[in-house]
Structure 1
Amino acid sequence: MKYMTIQEVQCIGDLTGFDERLNDLMNALLDLEDTDSAVEDPDLAATITDGVVDVQMIVEADDPADAMVKALCFLRSAIHSIGDATPGWETQRAVMHVAPADATDRLLADA
């Protein structure tokens, strides 16, 4: 089954050149997509001033938990491939949203 995943992560430290790092990260995500048929359509959005990045992708997996693990590993690989580190990022500054790809309205909350 295909799942839409959205990972919200926050980059810490000096944000000088953050926009260039985001370009590098997007290119790394696209490069990894070419090597992994279980992941498609990676995309990202960010708030440059505070270092918050939302990374979205479709992941084919057996269940939502497997989709989360796959998306987490995929993003971690992309971050490492551009020379950045990820110590504690998945527990200290991250949120993961997962829903069936054909029911992405479940990812939206009512205001």
Structure 2
Amino acid sequence: MKYSTLLKVSPPGGSQNTDVAFDQLMDALVGIEEADPFVEDVDLGADLHAGWIEVRMLVTAADQGEAAMHAFTALRTAIHALGGITRGWDTETYSLQVSPAATPVSA
């Protein structure tokens, strides 16, 4: 089943680094999307003033928990590929939402 995921992350250094991190993160996530058959439709949004990047992706998984873990792992992999550190995320720098992806109605 496909799940829609939304992760909000704050880049290291806060809002002054968001615009640079945004471009680099998108490139890294596109690479993961191309290599991982379970990840698709990666998209980013940002609130540059507040210093948040929103990462959306569709994840194919058996359930919501697996989808959440896969999306989280994809994002952490992208950040690590850029030399970033994600230590402490479990308490302070991200939020994650997962819901079943909308299914198109056939005519």
| Alignment partners' CA distance in 2, 1:25 and 1:89 | 17
| Alignment partners' CA distance in 1, 2:18 and 2:5 | 23
TM-superposition CA deviations, 1:49-96 (whole Å, max 9, x none): 221111000000000000000000000000111111111124312211
Question: Secondary structure, in 3 states, of the residue corresponding to 2:16?
Answer: coil
Question: Secondary structure, in 3 states, of the residue corresponding to 2:26?
Answer: helix
Question: Secondary structure, in 3 states, of the residue corresponding to 2:91?
Answer: helix
Letter in 2 for 1:101: A
Q: TM-score, normalised by structure 2?
A: 0.87
Question: Which blocks of at least 5 consecutive residues in structure 2 are unaligned?
Answer: none
Question: Percent identity at matched positions?
Answer: 39
| Alignment partners' CA distance in 2, 1:91 and 1:35 | 29
RMSD: 1.5
Question: Secondary structure, in 3 states, of the residue corresponding to 2:78?
Answer: helix
| Equivalent residue number for residue 100 of structure 1 | 100
Q: TM-score, normalised by structure 1?
A: 0.85
Question: Secondary structure, in 3 states, of the residue corresponding to 1:86?
Answer: coil
After TM superposition, the runs of 4+ consecutive aligned structure 1 residues lying more than 6 A away are: none
| Equivalent residue number for residue 39 of structure 1 | 39
Q: Which moved more, 1:80-89 or 1:9-18?
A: 9-18
Question: Which blocks of at least 5 consecutive residues in structure 1 are unaligned?
Answer: 104-111
Question: Secondary structure, in 3 states, of the residue corresponding to 1:19?
Answer: helix
